[in-house]
Amino acid sequence: MKFFAGNYDCIVIGGGHAGCEAALASARMGHKTAVFATSLDNIALLACNPSIGGTSKGHLVREVDALGGQMGLNIDESFIQIRMLNTGKGPAVHSLRGQADKNQYHLLMKRTLETQPNLDVIQGEIIEILEKNSRISGVVTSLGDVFTCRAVVVATGVYLKSRIIIGEHSIDSGPSGFYPANGLSKNLKDLGFKLLRFKTGTPARIDGASIDFEKMVPQPGDDEIIPFSFLNDTLERDQVPCWLTHTTEKTHDIIRENLHRAPMYSGDIDGIGARYCPSVEDKVVRFADKTSHQIFIEPEGRHTKEMYPQGLSTSMPIDVQREMYRSVPGLENVQIMRPAYAIEYDCIDARDLNLSLESRNIRGLFLAGQINGSSGYEEAAGQGIMAGINAARYINGKSPVVLDRSQGYIGVLIDDLVTKGTNEPYRMMTSRAEYRLLLRQDNADMRLTEIGREVGLVDDKRYDWFMKKRERVKKEIERLKNFSISPNPKVLEYLRGKGTSVIKRGISLYELLKRPEITLEDIEALGGRGDNLLRQDREQVEVSIKYEGYIEKQLRQADQFKRIETKRIPPDLDYDNIDTMRLEARQKLNSVKPESIGQASRISGVSPADISVLMVYLVKMKKGGERDGSRTGKA
């Protein structure tokens, strides 16, 4: 029996990382919002790795923060260790990673949701999404409560018909013993979505008191703590070490001897796993020539003995897990507190969505996070904030905000999912972004804060901070351009000491900083520091100057990209009418319904020749419309 229970502007289904960002965005943009979670104890759960950020993922966190999201602020408050990755490479791939206090992170996000005006936090399972005339009208819970609304964001994570597999044992369950969401999959299928079945996995949690850390290599945090949020310039905190060990030949032998009991090889797992985050048994099979693999032992918090052995993800039976783990140096007497497992779950083919993350078939229905075939907390948060923004704008009758591939990693992520789809859990990587030097983590605020301000997520405090930073950076760059040094003995001696060629005439500090041997610290030793510069200001100044030529080249490339990206395609265009185009291309284009020439060019199976034919057709179509006075849309 169904009962009317209330009305909201926007309802968010799921309290994971996508759902939290979506709900906060909608509420902060002034809409009465509710977020439903199957349990209030799994809000922002770090179900797998107890960390935020990492290679390319740190970029996503910074972008969410720049737009006015919450993830960066919460990890800054709850981290127990911070490390900047890839510092031996260029700034385009520098990525921040924070080891989190798992429980504290959850509690911080739960408190953030609970104290957010316009937002109600409700425990309940949504089993049906209601629509009328292809527009969202409400949702129904498993208890029969009916809530009406104008927009829905589906952010169910890995809970849809989820199944936990440990060896020969399986159970319908969500992560960490939480209830699965079994009712919504059929409803999504009835609404026209194609469902896929994906799989991820997680290692066992082990007792830190049973680990011999003397046999491992300590992995301390960075001496200088660099925060995730642009609102925090520096932070001081005692950090907790992680530890490095390796699998052994014995580990690999145990795995090989028991492959017949591994669900992923015995056929007990139907879901497709993540290629870039394989289980340890998959690594042993795929990389048979390797005699060992790295294992990082990571604490799950300051007030627990539970440790996360990154690199030992498995779905092997529990007896094999014990034997396998105890073959690793330092884990000879380890006690497993929670067994490792694989988890299968339903998700959709994201090609059923527009770039705004709205359904192609039902207005006001948005989907974000692992439901779209991605993996990772950061990928979920990036989609979540965009879905929340666009749900709010839909309610207001405004056009959606779509980040393109030259604006952010979030734009790359969403475009990849919606345009190309994915046949495995998608994860973000720096190599997926064509404009990596423009999309650095250090300049995410410069790229996206204005957008966050325009949509109403960046408040006065954050915007004032951003404007002052931008002005300080601009002022310092101008100072360095106008500050020249001459080849006096002190300067020449300093330059020789740095291993760079001496100068024979006066040179600006700006030009000197472009040399690879010279850092901003050297420049400041020679010409002083600008007024009131913060750490993040100095980082922005140095990268902008040192890589100026490369940045300008990518800006030109991005400008060319935008020229084809802004050539819009009428949404109702029937590609079967373009008889000069190859049949495969017509089929692919009719399936995806790209929004622009740029998006069309990235569809697998559509060649440059097909794009040329399409552009000619659109020009003829436009000219024909101009002659007969009809409006066919912009080409």
Range of the domain at 623: 566-628
The domain that holds 588 is classified in CATH as 1.10.150.570
* Residue pair 239/80 in contact by the 8 Å Cβ criterion: yes
pLDDT of residue 1: 85
Tokens of 197: 């079945």
Statement to judge: residues 127 and 56 lie in one domain: yes
* N- to C-terminal Cα separation, the chain: 51
> Residue 341 in 3-state DSSP?
strand
* Residue pair 448/63 in contact by the 8 Å Cβ criterion: yes
Statement to judge: residues 169 and 24 lie in one domain: yes
Statement to judge: residues 527 and 546 lie in one domain: yes
Q: Answer yes or no: is 480 within a domain.
A: yes
Dihedrals φ, ψ of 96, to 5°? -85, 140
Interacting residues of 410 by C-beta distance below 8 A, sequence separation 6+:
60, 63, 64, 382, 383, 385, 386, 403
* Residue pair 29/457 in contact by the 8 Å Cβ criterion: yes
Q: Answer yes or no: is 540 within a domain.
A: yes
Statement to judge: residues 401 and 504 lie in one domain: no
- HSE-up of 25 (CA within 13 Å, CB side)? 35
The domain that holds 20 is classified in CATH as 3.50.50.60
Statement to judge: residues 56 and 165 lie in one domain: yes
Q: Answer yes or no: is 461 within a domain.
A: no
Q: Answer yes or no: is 635 within a domain.
A: no
Rg (CA), the chain: 26
> Which residue's structure tokens are 């008191």?
209
DSSP character at residue 130: E
- What are the average pLDDT values for consecutive 10-residue runs of the chain, which has 635 residues? 95 98 98 98 96 97 98 98 95 96 98 98 98 97 98 97 95 93 96 95 97 98 97 95 98 95 79 80 92 97 97 96 98 98 96 97 98 97 98 98 96 96 93 93 97 98 97 96 94 94 94 95 91 94 95 92 88 92 92 91 89 90 62 34
Statement to judge: residues 111 and 151 lie in one domain: yes
- Final residue of a structural domain among 420, 455, 490: 455
Q: In sequence order, what are the beta bridge partners of 181?
A: 160
H/E segment holding residue 318: helix 318-325
Statement to judge: residues 485 and 538 lie in one domain: yes
Q: Answer yes or no: is 460 within a domain.
A: no
pLDDT of residue 625: 64
Q: In sequence order, what are the beta bridge partners of 468?
A: none
Q: Answer yes or no: is 83 within a domain.
A: yes
Statement to judge: residues 411 and 326 lie in one domain: no
Statement to judge: residues 532 and 434 lie in one domain: no
pLDDT of residue 626: 55
Residue 173 to residue 156: CA distance in whole angstroms = 14
Task: Domain count for the chain, please give it.
Answer: 4
Residue 154 to residue 177: CA distance in whole angstroms = 22
Tokens of 435: 């404009």
Residue 111 to residue 333: CA distance in whole angstroms = 39
Dihedrals φ, ψ of 551, to 5°? -65, -45
The domain that holds 270 is classified in CATH as 2.40.30.260
Statement to judge: residues 33 and 46 lie in one domain: yes
Statement to judge: residues 255 and 139 lie in one domain: no
Q: Answer yes or no: is 463 within a domain.
A: no
Expressed in percent and rounded to 5, the helix, strand and coil fractions of the chain are 40, 20, 40
Statement to judge: residues 84 and 131 lie in one domain: yes
Query: How many C-beta atoms lie closer than 10 Å to residue 557's C-beta?
Result: 15
Q: Answer yes or no: is 73 within a domain.
A: yes
pLDDT of residue 268: 75
- Final residue of a structural domain among 321, 340, 359: 340
CA-wise closest residue to 500 among 481, 523, 517: 517
- Final residue of a structural domain among 340, 363, 398: 340
Record the pTM: 0.94
